Amino acid sequence: MTIDKRMEAALNEQIKWELYSSYLYLSMSSWYESAGLKGFANWEFIQAQEEKDHAMKIFRYVISRGGRVILHPIDAPPSEWASPLDAFQVSLEHEQKVTSMINNLVDLSIDLKDHATHNMLQWFVDEQIEEEEDAGEIVDKLRMIEEGGGKQMLFMLDKELGTRVYTPLQPGMAPGQQ
């Protein structure tokens, strides 16, 4: 069965937003590098890679359902932030926006009685819980640092974020297993 044209168009739009997410986090990685926060830069670089994986998961799904992927223009992301806290607040707000987009796709799949797409999207529903949780935890830590933790705590967090390792997304992998 071929994918419904409305779902195909919506998934193509989501591919754009997943790729924009990758651009955003790559931009943040560059900004952190320029600020001397290599651990933060590493964390965001890996985040950018994961977002590209998410786009490709949808890309391959659309094709597997007999649809066609049409790539849309991607806006340039910001390149400056006031502080690490500001950048991570932007990350958290962006992930909340992506969660809303995924929820809209799930709603559309239900309206169209598209069980295959609904099933595929459940991976993204779970993934967004993890994405928001990760960004939220770092925002909380950065708030504590700004409220009196000092530069030593910032450098400790930088070291912690530098330990993140990229694991390519494998077909069938659940969020948190990557």
Is the pLDDT at 176 greater than 90? The verdict is no
pLDDT for position 171:
62
CA angle 125, 17, 163 (to 5 degrees): 70
Question: What is residue 80's DSSP assignment?
Answer: -
Q: What is the DSSP string of 89-158?
A: HHHHHHHHHHHHHHHHHHHHHHHTT-HHHHHHHHHHHHHHHHHHHHHHHHHHHHHHIIIIIHHHHHHHHH
* pLDDT tens-digit readout, 65-95: 999 999 999 999 999 999 999 999 999 999 9
pLDDT for position 16:
98
* pLDDT tens-digit readout, 34-55: 999 999 999 999 999 999 999 9
pLDDT for position 172:
56
pLDDT for position 35:
96
Say what the pTM is: 0.90
CA angle 20, 22, 23 (to 5 degrees): 65
* CA distance linking residue 82 with residue 139, whole number of Å: 14
At 162, the pLDDT band (50, 70, 90 cuts) reads confident
* pLDDT tens-digit readout, 13-30: 999 999 999 999 999 999
pLDDT for position 150:
76
pLDDT for position 178:
45
Is the pLDDT at 173 greater than 80? The verdict is no
Give the amino acid at 54. Answer: H
Question: What is residue 37's DSSP assignment?
Answer: -
Higher pLDDT, 62 or 177: 62
- Domains of the chain by start residue, with CATH: 5-161 (1.20.1260.10)
High-pLDDT (> 90) share of the chain, %: 80
Asked if 48 contacts 25 with a C-beta cutoff of 8 angstroms, the reply is yes
pLDDT for position 148:
83
